[in-house]
Structure 1
Amino acid sequence: MTVRPGMRLVVVFGAAIVGLAGVASAQDGQFERTLSVSGPVTLEVKTASGGITVRRGGGGTVQVKGTIRAHRRWLEMGDVAAYIREVEAKPPIAQDGNRIRLALPEKEEVRRRLSISYDVTVPAETDVTADSGSGSITIDGLEGTAQAEAGSGSVHVSNVAGRVRAHTGSGSVTLEAVGQGAEAETGSGSIKARDVNSDLTASTGSGRITASLLGQGTVKAHTGSGSIEISGINGAAELDSSSGGIRVDGEPNGDWTVDASSGSITIDVPDEAAFRIDARSSSGSIDVDHPVTIQGTVGRKRLQGTVRGGGSLLALSTASGSIRVQ
């Protein structure tokens, strides 16, 4: 077969791309450091592009494992291998007593060409602040507090005795076994919170919110598009879904405001619960499986009254959907 010159150029150029890709994939590195500490630790971790994992280990030391990866912009490769060796020899780690900071590389050209993912093992008594521009964050097993912020990527925080704050611009947020309340926010993605003690604030621009709560505290939840399902409320609640149904259960030991712009509302309270109710549905039925003493308005679209002498107010409203209190 006759090979035209243009075909040779395509074959050679394609081979060059494959070769450069192979070089790029080979140009990864890693480093490990063990830092001695005494007493509670404050850890700050920041990466522009890379994942962060912080988990509980033994006392007295902080173990840092870093994985370095070259960005796959082969036209800008330059001497990436030299940059990797530089970071391996001198990782961006700073220690001041029990305060440890894992930062970005100092040189801008290094930051542009490399990303670092961190896997850190810490003593139980550690407060963590983790910040990733693009990458997932996982924190587990701490007696201190945890703050996690990702520009893009999932956030998973579990078994943390202190307060938790988790935020991502795009991705899911998962919280499990949090001891002193939590704040969870994502621009786009679901929020799952299980066994959160005390207060919970959850907000997503688009996604479902599910939560189970322990102890007494205030709950605030908002989703721009998605359903809300929360169990174990013992205190005040403010729940709002612009598009989706809402289902909650618990003890109304504080006022509940539940607003579903488009969706049904289902409320489960104890059989002996005493409360006031103001329920409105522009399009849908209103049913209350408790003895209601009518006070104020009663009709197909609105019900006002008291149950067992009254108490905290359940203010329930939906523009399109039914309301049921059982």
Structure 2
Amino acid sequence: MIVRSSVRLVVIASAIAVWAAPASAQEGRFERTLSVSGPVSLEVRTASGGITVRRGGTGVVQVTGTIRARRRWLEFGDVEGYIRHVEAQPPITQNGNRIRLALPEDERIRRRLSISYDVLVPGDTEVEAHSGSGSITVDGLQRNARTHTGSGSVRVSNVDGSVRADTGSGSVTLEAIGQAAEASTGSGSIEARGVGTDLDASTGSGRIVATLQGKGTVRAHTGSGSVDISGVNGAADVNSSSGGIRVDGDPSGDWKMHAASGSIVIDVPDEAAFRIDARSSSGSITVDHPLTVQGTVGRKTLQGTVRGGGSLLALSTASGSITVR
């Protein structure tokens, strides 16, 4: 009995080893070059895998796909055959200058394989990229970029148009964006450097750091983390449930700042004219500008005008100090 049991264990272990080894090693690859003329519209979708879209040469879109097996335990099927099928017939369609890199139509293939894309495109390209799970990188485009991943980081840089970047879990990094930018993550930090106009940034948990280069509105909300924004020239709405807030710029529109737990520091030009309504449940309120007080000054509230008034700075914190410099 003992011998037979040992034999069974050896056989089972050997079967597991044979089954598991190919799953980690099986990989395929395909390359395609597509001719285009004029502005390009590119859509990329993958259930599991990374997506990279970068600026390449004019007149062509070069697609490189990496196929990997993601076979689950005891899920049978000809994985090697599926890989060869995708290599021979990758899910790419072209209609003029509209190119779509899609999910495989066969559900068995979608379950067993992941496809990562590396795409070189002309600068005059608009891109929409979606991944169920995987990082996304976009760089060097003249038109708009829209990206979404269920889990993974997103990085978009050197885009002249507007940008929307979303991830369910992961960081978002934006750099040198010519027009409006929108970034959101369920859990992760957001960093936006050199945004041309409006910025809308929200994270369930993580810090937000941003610099703006042009006139536009700012909205930044975090459930847990600090907010640091420079170069605001317009209206601003900033909220942190747990963390401090620092904002500098020209209050040419109303600024609304609220920190549930943390201090607020505001830096404005020496000649700035504005109204202020500051409230701190626990902490000091300091204004380093010539202030004309309105109403009664209390330890927890301050209302008044600076240089005759202008846009409203509505600042409040439940726990922390408020400083306007």
Structure-1 separation of matches of 2:54 and 2:77: 35
Give the secondary-structure state (helix, strand or coil) at the position aligned to 1:313: strand
- Identity %, equivalent residues: 74
Give the secondary-structure state (helix, strand or coil) at the position aligned to 2:156: strand
Structure-2 separation of matches of 1:323 and 1:8: 74
Structure 1 residue 272: Cα displacement:
1.3
Structure-2 separation of matches of 1:323 and 1:9: 72
Within 5 Å, which residues of 2 pair with 1:110-259? Answer: 110-259=109-258
The answer for the alignment partner of 1:269 in structure 2 is 268
CA contact (8 A) 2:216 2:232 kept: yes
The answer for the alignment partner of 1:69 in structure 2 is 68
Structure-2 separation of matches of 1:142 and 1:41: 11
Structure 1 residue 298: Cα displacement:
1.5
TM-score (norm 2): 0.97
The answer for the alignment partner of 2:79 in structure 1 is 80
The answer for the alignment partner of 2:320 in structure 1 is 321
**2:303 equivalent to 1:304:** yes
Structure 1 residue 5: Cα displacement:
4.2
Q: Deviations over 1:269-306 (max 9, x none)?
A: 11111111100000110011111110124211000001
Q: Deviations over 1:221-271 (max 9, x none)?
A: 001111111011011100011111101111111100000011100001111
CA contact (8 A) 1:77 1:113 kept: no
The answer for the alignment partner of 1:288 in structure 2 is 287
Counterpart code for 1:86: H
Counterpart code for 2:211: S
CA contact (8 A) 1:24 1:74 kept: no
TM-score (norm 1): 0.97
Structure 1 residue 152: Cα displacement:
1.0
Structure 1 residue 18: Cα displacement:
2.6
Structure-2 separation of matches of 1:117 and 1:276: 53
Structure-1 separation of matches of 2:214 and 2:272: 17
Distance 1:77 1:70, change over 3 A: farther
Q: Deviations over 1:150-209 (max 9, x none)?
A: 111111100000000001111111100000010001111111100111000000111111
Structure 1 residue 75: Cα displacement:
1.4
CA-atom RMSD, angstroms?
1.2
Give the secondary-structure state (helix, strand or coil) at the position aligned to 2:299: coil
Structure-1 separation of matches of 2:149 and 2:296: 48
Structure 1 residue 25: Cα displacement:
2.2
Structure 1 residue 21: Cα displacement:
2.1
Q: Deviations over 1:75-120 (max 9, x none)?
A: 1141111111111110000000000000000111111111111000
Structure-1 separation of matches of 2:33 and 2:108: 27
Q: Deviations over 1:37-95 (max 9, x none)?
A: 00000000000111100000000000000011111314114111111111111000000
